[in-house]
A = this chain, B = another copy of it.
């Protein structure tokens, strides 16, 4: 079976600054890939390219064997590093929006029973991210962490096939953070999600992911810092006794997957 998402010799350049060079990557359906690397390495840039927001300056990206158009759709959900919630919608409206788009192609608004059902679904998700009480606030009235959680709820309520997360939990306190870890793991198990997550927390990278990628520069010229871009320097598949996947086993999954990172195999790879 050809892999789900594949990047072939992908480069990302801004003007004459080379950010990513020669990235080759095959990601299987259902993988949970954590990406770590120094600040400024190009992690967010990589996510943008996979999302289809930016086109790579060279190379090819294929999804399910088809070349990826540089555009976004509801197959790929995203939580950006910077706040990407809609400032003119309340928390509840922000969360409802995805549901409304799917069900009301023309008005993008729901009424009556359909709305009540969507509101219930959105509220469940808001409770899950700890914003249950804040449905009527506008983003400007919320703290940084709350906005980030809203962005997450917004993406999750659409149950995308691929979920791209850019430091989603950076601004959260440890309590809510482990709740969110549980939530994302459950969803991953329940919906055969493919997750690509950028994080600065190595513990998080290893405990959540089943594959950890490290982005960094392979070469560095101190006199021309922009000459060389980063690439994948470590690609660590984590082999664990995974429980069988499926929505039915959700409660079981919750306890089995939590906080395990035993039996890891590490291979140093050369990406060139």
Where the two chains meet, the residues of A that have a C-beta atom closer than 8 Å to any C-beta of B are: 14, 17, 36-40, 43-44, 81-82, 130, 133-134, 141-146, 149, 167, 170-177, 200, 202, 222, 225
Q: Which residue on B lies nearest to A42, using beta carbons?
A: B143
* A38 B175 Cβ-Cβ under 8 A: yes
Taking CB atoms, residues of chain B closer than 8 Å to A134 are: 40, 225
Taking CB atoms, residues of chain B closer than 8 Å to A200 are: 145, 170-174, 177
A59 to B177, CA, bound (A): 33
Partner of A39, one of B40, B43, B145: B145
Number of identical monomers bound together in the oligomeric complex:
2
Q: How far does the Cβ of A212 sit from chain B's closest Cβ, in whole Å?
A: 13
* B202 A144 Cβ-Cβ under 8 A: no
* A36 B144 Cβ-Cβ under 8 A: no
Q: How far does the Cβ of A152 sit from chain B's closest Cβ, in whole Å?
A: 12
Taking CB atoms, residues of chain B closer than 8 Å to A149 are: 39
Q: A14-B141, A143-B44, A144-B167 are in contact. Are A173 and B81 (CB under 8 A)?
A: no
Q: How far does the Cβ of A53 sit from chain B's closest Cβ, in whole Å?
A: 15
